[in-house]
Structures are given as structure tokens and as C-alpha cells.
Amino acid sequence: MRHFITLLDITAEEARHILNRAAIIKRMLREGKEHKPLAGKTLGMIFDKASTRTRVSFEVGMFQLGGHALFLHSSDTQLGRGEPIEDAARVLSRMLDGIVIRTYGHDMVQRFAAHSLVPVINALTDLTHPCQILADVFTFEEHRGSIQGKTVAWIGDGNNMAHSWINGSVSFGYKLNIACPEGYSPDLKLLAAARELGADVTLSDDPLLAARDADLVTTDVWASMGQEEEQRIREKAFAGYQVDKNVMLQAQPDALFMHCLPAHRDQEVAADVIDGAQSVVWDEAENRLHAQKALLEFLLA
């Protein structure tokens, strides 16, 4: 029984296997071939935060794999009335075959997993968003081939997405250049742990330097879910960190632009970049479905 709480819960070989399966699963869907390895299985999905892509991709993915998904907003369950996480994990995992959780504290998912009899998947915490990196690397490779040895530029907040890009450098062997304003760096303990495992990461406060010769430029919102009241302060701190044409000009001429979405045009990304020829954000969003179906197959089949 395996969990997927960060990318480091699976080996580099397993990560590669999942992306290979994602390509096959995507092709089967396009060709109208049924693939139902999860017939009779149920997936519980506990969400404490809003979601469009993650919720829909897991629900649709589970249906297409022959299983069933239950969406549980935690405020509608006894968790919202204070039932201990450990008790919820013991009970739910006796009925379900897998559990997806989107919440605030990363420790909530870890505590749940420690008492779960079935695989637990992190669908985003304040610390990491590993499912997104599976889709993002898959998308890069569909367009440009192997990401190994390529350069990824992360411009913006040292947030959950930045952390998962850091861990992804261990799994997928790309170089990651991060540019964050002072005070918004990624978690240095997570960075140090990933470097120990071979992550190739540079950290600076210079977006143009980070983007130089990059094969992929990526960013995310300046204020994540739960940080809404910091929006104004963050807009000031992140002025100068917008991924605009000038940033893209530093990168390779064929560099791609990605954003996990939802995006704020003309804040973290200029409208002409996200809506421009280098942007692959719609493929990236669609690939959440295919990559997570491969993850579900890996964990539950």
C-alpha cells in the first residue's frame, strides 16, 4: 500500500512509469478504447479548499477507469465538526479504496495517511501540489521530448507549486532556476532535503537571470488559497515578477510557458504570454486528467 503525499513518495522510475502510462491512457481515450482497471473501486475526495481542475480530473478519471468518486467537502462531514482526523482516516479507509485530500496543513494529510488502510493522494496542501507536476512534466514532454537535463524557470512565490517543482527535479532530472522576492523564498528545509537527493536548483531574486536560456518558464498566483488577506501586500512585493514578453525573451526561443491555473492576467503573467503562442496552459490543464488516471491506476489497480 502506497501513498502519494509528495513526489518523493515514489521513485524516479515509478514517476517515469506513471508518465509512460499517462501517454498510453490518453491515447486509449482518444481512440475510444475502454480501460476500466478500477471497476468496483471507490475514491473519496475530501476538499477543504476550492478546486476546478483537481476535483473534475479526479472525478472524471475515476469514472473513466470504471470506478466511482465521492466528493466530500469537509464542512459537510463530521471532520468539519471536530471529529479527529485519525478517526476519520480509520473509518473512511475501511469503506473506500483510495482517498484524495486537498487541505491547508500538510500535516493533516500526513496524519490521515498514517491511519489510513488505503492509499492517500495529496491534491494540494499549503506545502506541495505533486499531482500538478506529473501533469506539467507530461505536458512538457508531449511538446518537447524528455525534460531530463532541461532548464525550468520558476518566477514568483516560493509556494506549494515551487516546492513541488523542487521535488520534481529529483524525480525528473531537470535544472530549476527559482526567482522570488525577498521574504517569499521556498521552504529552505524542503530545498535542502531535495538537494541532498540530487535536485539541481538555483535560488535568486532576479527573474531575468532565472529565465535565461530556460526551456520552460512557469509561475503561479502571488497569493495562494488561504492568503487572500495578504493580496495587497503581495502585489507590492511581487511587482517586477510578472512573466511578461521581456522575461520570455531571456528564455530559449522555443521555450514553453506553463501555469497551474487559475491565473490572474497582468499580475503574475502578462495576458499576451498566457494567451500567446508559447503558452501550453490548456494542454497542461487537460493533462491533469490523463496523468492522474495513471496515478490512480498505479496506486489502486
Contact positions vs ligand NVA (CB under 6 A): 124, 159-161, 220-221, 224-225, 260
Nearest residue to ligand NVA on Cβ basis:
224
Task: Say if residue 115 is exposed, middle or buried (CB neighbours under 10 Å; 0-12, 13-18, 19+).
Answer: middle
CA–CA distance, 8 with 197 (Å, rounded to integer): 9
Which helix (H) or strand (E) segment holds residue 55: the answer is helix 53-64
What does the alpha-carbon distance between residue 238 and residue 144 come to, in Å, rounded to a whole number?
30
Of 124 and 210, which CB lies nearer to ligand CP in the complex structure? Answer: 124
- Residue 280 binds what, of ligand NVA, ligand CP, none (CB under 5 to 8 Å, by partner type)? none
Question: Exposed, middle or buried, 131 (CB in 10 Å: 0-12/13-18/19+)?
Answer: buried
Which of helix, strand or coil describes residue 152?
A: strand
Residue 78's contacts (CB-CB under 8 Å, 6 or more residues apart) are: 88
Q: Reply yes or no on whether 3 is catalytic.
A: no
CB 183 within 8 Å of CB 237:
yes
Residue 156 Cβ, how far from ligand NVA at the closest point, in Å?
9
Q: 220 catalytic, yes or no?
A: yes
Cβ distance to ligand CP smaller for residue 256 or 260: 260
Instruction: Report, in Å, the least distance between residue 53 CB and ligand NVA.
Output: 7
CA-based end-to-end distance of the chain: 11
Active-site residue flag, 213: no
User: Among 3, 64, 132, 215, which one carries the catalytic annotation?
Assistant: 132
Residue 283 annotated as catalytic: no
In the complex with ligand NVA, the residue whose CB is nearer, 92 or 101, is: 101
The partner in contact with residue 160, picked from ligand NVA, ligand CP, none with C-beta cut-offs of 5 to 8 angstroms by kind, is ligand NVA
Among 15, 19, 62, 260, binds ligand CP (CB under 6 A): 260
Active site positions, annotated = 102, 129, 132, 220, 260, 288
